[in-house]
Amino acid sequence: MLNNVPTILVADDDRSIRTVLKQALLREKYNVELTDNATQLWEWTRAGKGDVIITDVSMPDMNVFDIIPKIKEVNPDLPIIVISALSTLSTALQAEKEDVFEYLPKPFDLDKLLNTVNNALVLASNRNNNQELEEKLPLVGISAPMQNIYKMIARLINSDLSVIISGENGTGKKTVAKTLHHYGNRRQYPFISLNIAAMTATEIENKLFGYDDKGKWQAGCLEQAVNGTLFLDEIGEMPLNIQTRLLRILEENNNASSEPQLSLRIIAATRQNLFQLVQEKQFKEDLYYRLNIIPVHMPPLKERSEDIPLLIEYFLKENSSTTNFSEKSIDLLKKYHWPGNVQELQNLIIRLVALYPNQRIQEDLLIQSLQKTTITHKQTDCISLSTLIEEHICRYFSENKGLPINKLYAQMIAEVEKPLIEQTLIETEGNQIKAAMILGINRNTLRKKIKDFNITYK
């Protein structure tokens, strides 16, 4: 790039096309280099020249697809735009196979080509910026699954597209959401988080849309997140009537005939299979497709065990600890199945740091620690409910550090109450009288809670 002005390499054996492209590109203030053969194009790229390539397929000396693999080896990030009069399926498939930036059959629309060049340059610029960004991300891992996550985040950072992040509990869905916000275009505006699973239907509606509190309007999360990001955690738990209302607001907001009322990005997360919920009529299809523009799946920790040593190092550094682990203990952790994923590993490290400060953690000590914290069907003992709740509350405060927190008591009670009622109804096969007796509450109270929590059972 000369004086920060992009250089466009144009290769086409048709002089008239070269002339038209040169004039159009010069008007856009680009540097332009022209050639009528593939050999010269290869010499330029091998010398590190060019920021974007525009090339025909059939050249007098060779087919350009013969040298594209070599160009990719020298500069894998160099965008290549292929133009061709051979507008056949095989040409299009070959272009797709070689992973070119864009394929445009001749005759091509000049404005479209210029837009494509601009998009290619923007992508290249973002890629360079994101190499530096990745070093700062609060995500850790060198595994192939995490590399895919990094690439996805890099593409989404400067976008306003809606995203649904799926994955098991503890995989880091909220961390990805925060990363997309704090490193994106809306970082100077609020990041508002709403955990759908932790509230009753009435609470969800009030929190999301706002409500009148004795004549004083309490803004909902949609209003609070204006110009920023709204993170809807466990969106699969959202009642259908609230889904309908949210969808209506989003549709009205994107109506081209009216002024947008809201400017915000929505990122949702779920541990459930939303597509399956759509099939079962438990999640609205229109809302699913409106939010699921870009799906991101967070891999469970057991599928990226090679990241565990890096995660341990990260958590130890985060806690300013000199505690360290023997090689055998790290091998043991890499073989563990991690039902609680990264969050379980973090909790384990925090606990070990507190109990054994500045010590070397050996295999035998780790085995004892894992046996105490692992919950499986094979065990005769299990962790007490109070311990689980305590760990959950600690995790909640850690994840929401620096964010406004209110009505935590009601939220935590709801998180315990809902699964308690659900599992009791499953145990009694839906018999509300038996369930109410087991729970020790009035049947009318049970009915109200079933409605409030939007509980369904078969």
Which of the residue ranges 79-88, 243-252, 256-265 would you say has the lowest mean pLDDT?
256-265
CB 270 within 8 A of CB 140: no
Write the pLDDT tens digit of every residue in 71-91.
Answer: 988 888 889 999 988 766 667
Q: 276-304 pLDDT, tens per residue? A: 999 999 999 999 999 998 899 999 999 99
Sheet holding 191-195: strands in order across? 191-195, 229-233, 265-270, 163-166, 294-297
What separation in angstroms does the CA of 381 have from each of 105, 372, 374, 384? 67, 9, 10, 9
- Interatomic CA distance for residues 449 and 431, integer angstroms: 15
Which domains are seen in the chain, by residue range?
7-129 (3.40.50.2300), 144-299 (3.40.50.300), 302-399 (1.10.8.60), 408-452 (1.10.10.60)
Contacts of 79 (CB under 8 A, 6+ apart): 51, 52, 53, 101, 120, 121, 123, 124
Assign 154 a pLDDT band (cuts: 50, 70, 90).
Answer: confident
Report whether pLDDT(259) > 90: no
* Mean predicted lDDT score pLDDT of the chain: 84
Instruction: Write the DSSP assignment of 293-332 as a string of letters.
Output: TEEEEPPPGGG-GGGHHHHHHHHHHHTT---EE-HHHHHH
Residue the block writes with tokens 């997140």: 225
Whole-angstrom distance, CA of residue 148 vs CA of residue 304: 12
Distance CA 400, CA 211 (A): 24
| Residues 238, 232: Cα–Cα separation, whole Å | 9
β-strands 31-35, 7-11: how paired?
Answer: parallel
pLDDT higher than 50, residue 256 = no
pLDDT tens digit string along 348-402? Answer: 998 888 888 888 998 888 887 776 665 433 343 445 567 677 767 776 776 666 6
Nearby residues of 455 by Cβ (< 8 Å), 6 or more positions away: 418, 421, 422, 425, 449
The C-alpha torsion from 164 through 168 and 172 to 173, rounded to 10°, is 10
pLDDT of residue 298: 94
DSSP 88: S
pLDDT for the residue numbered 277: 92
pLDDT in tens, 394-448: 767 766 666 667 778 877 887 788 888 888 887 887 888 888 888 888 888 888 8
Q: Is 48 helix (H, G, I), strand (E, B) or coil?
A: coil
Query: 285 or 126: which carries more pLDDT confidence?
Result: 285
Say if residue 33's pLDDT is above 90.
yes
Q: What would the two tokens of residue 324 be? A: 């360290």
Per-residue pLDDT for 128 more than 60?
A: no
- Residue 14: which residues within 8 A CB-CB, separation 6 or more? 56
Q: What is the pLDDT of residues 390-404, one digit of tens each?
A: 767 776 776 666 666
Percent of the chain with pLDDT over 90: 40
Give the pLDDT score at 19: 94
Q: What pLDDT is recorded for position 377?
A: 31
According to DSSP, residue 78 is labeled -
Q: What is the pLDDT of residue 300?
A: 94
Confidence grade of residue 239 (pLDDT, cut at 50, 70, 90):
very high
Instruction: Average the pLDDT over 138-142 and give the result.
Output: 80
Statement: residue 15 has pLDDT above 90: yes
